Amino acid sequence: MQGLLKLFSKKPLVPLLADYDPEIHQLSDPDHVVIPLVYPGRVRYQPTVEVGDFVSKGQVIGKSRIGNCVCASISGKVTEMTSIWTAQSFYSAAIVIENDGSPGMPAYERFDGPVSTNDLKAAMDRLRSAGVAPPWAMSGREYLEEEKLPELPPVTTVVITGVRQETTILTSQLLLEQQADKVTEGLRCIGELLPDARICLTAPEAHRNWAATKFEGLAEVVFLPEHYTGRIEREVVSRFLGRRIPNRESYRFHGIAVLDVEYLLAMVDALNGTSPFTQKCLTISGSGLDKAVTVRFPLGSSIRHILASQGLKIDDYTRPVVGGPMMGFAQFSDTTPLTYNNGLHLIAEDVNPFDPLAPCINCGRCTRVCPVGIQVHLVNRIIEFGELKNARALQPEACHECGLCADVCPAQRPIVQLLHFCNHEMVHGERYNWITGDNES
Ligand code: SF4
Ligand code: SF4
Q: Whose CA is nearest to atom 1 of ligand 2?
A: 377
| Amino acid making up residue 16 | L
| Amino acid making up residue 146 | E
The ligand 1 site (C-beta within 6 Å) comprises 369-372, 374, 376, 399-405, 415-416, 419
* CATH topology assigned to domain 120-144+152-272: Rossmann fold (3.40.50)
Q: Which DSSP category does 167 fall into? A: T
Q: Where exactly are the structural domains of the chain?
A: 120-144+152-272, 277-347, 365-439
Å from CA of 402 to ligand 2 middle? 16
Q: Which residues pair with 297 in a beta bridge?
A: 280
Å from CA of 400 to ligand 1 middle? 6
Å from CA of 196 to ligand 1 middle? 35
Per-residue pLDDT of the chain (441 residues; tens, 9 = 90+): 444 445 454 444 455 677 899 999 999 999 999 999 998 878 889 999 999 999 999 999 999 988 899 999 999 999 999 999 999 888 999 999 999 999 998 888 889 999 998 898 999 999 999 999 887 777 666 676 666 777 889 999 999 999 999 999 999 999 999 999 999 999 999 999 999 999 999 999 999 999 999 999 999 999 999 889 899 999 999 999 998 888 777 888 899 999 999 999 999 999 999 999 999 999 999 988 889 999 999 999 999 999 999 999 999 898 899 999 899 998 989 999 999 999 999 988 766 666 666 788 999 999 999 999 999 999 998 888 888 778 888 888 889 889 999 989 988 888 998 888 887 766 555 444 434 444 443
Beta strand 198-204 pairing with 157-161 = parallel
Å from CA of 355 to ligand 2 middle? 13
Contact 101, 41 (CB under 8 A): no
Q: For the domain 277-347, what is the CATH code?
A: 3.10.20.90
Which of 404, 417, 418 has most ligand 1 atoms within 8 Å of its beta carbon, as the pocket-test mutant?
A: 404
CA distance 341 to 88: 9
CA distance 47 to 71: 10
Nearest to 370 by CA among 419, 312, 323: 419
Which ligand has the minimum distance to the alpha carbon of residue 377? 2
Burial letters for 363-393: b for 16+ Cβ neighbours within 10 Å, e otherwise? eebbbebbbbebebbbbbbbbbebebeebbe
CA distance 223 to 203: 5
Predicted TM-score (pTM) above 0.75 = yes
